[in-house]
Amino acid sequence: MTESSIITLDEESLQNNVAFLKKKIGKHVIISAVVKANAYGHGIEQIVPLFEKHGINHYSVFSYKEAIRVYNSLPAPHPIMIMGWISDEDMIDTIKKGIEFFIFNTERLQVALSYAKSLNTKANIHLEAETGMNRSGLNMNELNQAISLIKDNEDYINIAGFCTHLAGAESISNHSRIQKQLKRYQQMLTVLKKNDINPQYRHVANSAASFVYPKARMDMVRIGIMLYGFWSSTEVFIQYINNRANKKDPLDRILSWKSQIMSIKEVKCGEFVSYGLSYLAQTNIKTALIPIGYASGYNRSLSNKGIILIQDQICNVIGSVNMNMIIADVSNIPDAKVGDEVVIIGKQNGLEIKVSAFSDISDQLNYEVLAHLSESIKRTVAKKQ
């Protein structure tokens, strides 16, 4: 291994997840693969061609910059939808390239219209409704203003979608709130239709909502975390398997993260390890230095808590996580040596360290752990055999 660490994506696992989700969601509902945050840490440039290869043909991102990365990664043009940030300067290129984007206030709609007119073309927009999350979206008054603008400028606007975001479909505690959101969405959709505005796609559901609220699937679902092999929450997984004879998780993790030992050191009883005084050797120990740290995405909250795999054994991370290095206790591996494989996420023979192992001991969400994986780490694809 020439790199300090490598992330590997398993194509067969990805294919399994796509096939499972397509079967469960149904052939009449489009899956938009959410690839924001560098495809949840998996790497946009690596994952998008794989999704494309295995039948995904719609992509959702947060920003213009991410949209361009997807645009450049696709072997053939497919719809790309920006759910968040576009600067006014980037709006003209967004419209030129036919990239779709959310309209969450009337100011953005006016900017989009001005550029669409200057290009003498249509902007592909998704009207985002504020239904109760109170984050982004048009309230009823703003929706009526948007309708007036659209009707006055029909030659420059294509209504690709009407959408909202549900506030926590992964938890039963939010059930009442989400039901109110769905009702509000339908009321606003009725207003659109009364004004002869018929969006191409109605979409409100993310991964969790697609399973917990099947009626929320509508024309399109925005699936992120489940495509990568993770359930939105334990609640969603339990609800899915509850009445099934087969309790096996149907999703496969795509990502593994590996490094290697760069140095071995003997530490005497009574000496401290790493910065500060957080770890005191209680006996003579042997340590391994591994070239990853919080700059790579290995959170400092894993100091004295993290675990890794070396030579088919679980080893504890000791001392503070450094910017570029961690230290592990390898006292139980007498022949541990420089160059030995270190598994940070993934499998080593019969053992596995899951992303949930990070969240269980550091209060990080699965999403957070994945999103923090540095883009500087090399990503490779393990091709399907």
- Note the pLDDT tens digit of each residue in 26-62: 999 999 999 999 999 999 999 999 999 999 999 999 9
Q: Torsions phi, psi of 149, nearest 5?
A: -65, -45
Binding-site residue positions for substrate? 135, 323
Q: Which of 183, 193, 275, 347 is catalytic?
A: 275
- SS3 category, 17: helix
Say if 383 falls within a structural domain.
no
- Confidence class for position 18, pLDDT limits 50, 70, 90: very high
- Confidence class for position 263, pLDDT limits 50, 70, 90: very high
Strands laid side by side in the 100-103 sheet? 201-203, 157-163, 123-128, 100-103, 80-82, 59-61, 30-34, 220-223
Mean pLDDT in the chain?
95
- Confidence class for position 366, pLDDT limits 50, 70, 90: confident
- Confidence class for position 245, pLDDT limits 50, 70, 90: confident
Q: Which of 36, 40, 59, 201 is catalytic?
A: 36
Note the pLDDT tens digit of each residue in 116-138: 999 999 999 999 999 999 899 99
Please give the Cα distance from 277 to 267 (Å, whole number).
Answer: 14
Bridge partner list, 346: 353
Say if 250 falls within a structural domain.
no
| pLDDT score at 172 | 87
Say if 285 falls within a structural domain.
yes
- pTM value is 0.94
Note the pLDDT tens digit of each residue in 139-153: 999 999 999 999 999
Identify the residue whose tokens are 């409100």.
204
The question of whether 36 is a catalytic residue gets the answer: yes
- Find out whether 285 and 331 touch, Cβ atoms under 8 Å: yes
- Confidence class for position 384, pLDDT limits 50, 70, 90: confident
Domain identity same for 164 and 18: yes
| pLDDT score at 360 | 73
- Confidence class for position 255, pLDDT limits 50, 70, 90: very high
Domain identity same for 222 and 289: no
- Find out whether 345 and 373 touch, Cβ atoms under 8 Å: no
Please check the confidence at residue 83 and state whether its pLDDT lies above 80: yes
CATH number for the domain including 218?
3.20.20.10
Domain identity same for 262 and 233: no
Domain identity same for 31 and 176: yes
Say if 332 falls within a structural domain.
yes
Q: Where are the alpha helices (DSSP H) in the chain?
A: 11-25, 36-40, 44-53, 64-73, 88-96, 106-119, 140-152, 175-194, 207-212, 234-241, 355-362, 366-371
pLDDT mean over 241-246: 86
Please give the Cα distance from 360 to 216 (Å, whole number).
Answer: 30
Longest distance between any two alpha carbons in the chain, whole Å: 79
Domain identity same for 269 and 236: no
Please give the Cα distance from 358 to 344 (Å, whole number).
Answer: 10
Please check the confidence at residue 200 and state whether its pLDDT lies above 80: yes
Q: What is the DSSP string of 24-51?
A: HH-TTSEEEEE-HHHHHTT-HHHHHHHH
Using CA atoms, how far residue 84 sits from 135, 319, 328, in Å, is 11, 39, 40
- Confidence class for position 22, pLDDT limits 50, 70, 90: very high
Among 255, 204, 252, residue whose Cα is nearest residue 226: 252
Please check the confidence at residue 385 and state whether its pLDDT lies above 70: no
Indicate the residue type of 17.
Answer: N
How many separate domains does the chain show? 2
Binding-site residue positions? 135, 323
**By percentage, how much of the chain surpasses pLDDT 90?**
87
- Find out whether 61 and 40 touch, Cβ atoms under 8 Å: no
Domain identity same for 235 and 331: no
Domain identity same for 306 and 339: yes
Using CA atoms, how far residue 309 sits from 32, 117, 192, 238, 349, in Å, is 35, 58, 56, 29, 10
Please check the confidence at residue 363 and state whether its pLDDT lies above 90: no
| pLDDT score at 42 | 97
Domain identity same for 283 and 221: no
| pLDDT score at 367 | 85
Using CA atoms, how far residue 49 sits from 33, 36, 46, 76, 126, in Å, is 12, 15, 6, 10, 25
Say if 358 falls within a structural domain.
no
| pLDDT score at 365 | 78
The domain boundary residue, chosen from 241, 270, 285: 241
Domain identity same for 272 and 146: no
Say if 371 falls within a structural domain.
no
- Confidence class for position 246, pLDDT limits 50, 70, 90: confident
Domain identity same for 215 and 304: no
Say if 195 falls within a structural domain.
yes
- Confidence class for position 169, pLDDT limits 50, 70, 90: confident
CATH number for the domain including 317?
2.40.37.10
| pLDDT score at 168 | 87
Domain identity same for 140 and 18: yes
Please give the Cα distance from 227 to 170 (Å, whole number).
Answer: 16
Q: What is the DSSP string of 223-237?
A: E-GGGGT--S-HHHH
Using CA atoms, how far residue 268 sits from 71, 310, 326, in Å, is 55, 22, 18
Determine the structural domain holding residue 268 and report its residue range. Answer: 255-353
Domain identity same for 217 and 262: no
Say if 126 falls within a structural domain.
yes
| pLDDT score at 142 | 97
The domain boundary residue, chosen from 210, 241, 272: 241
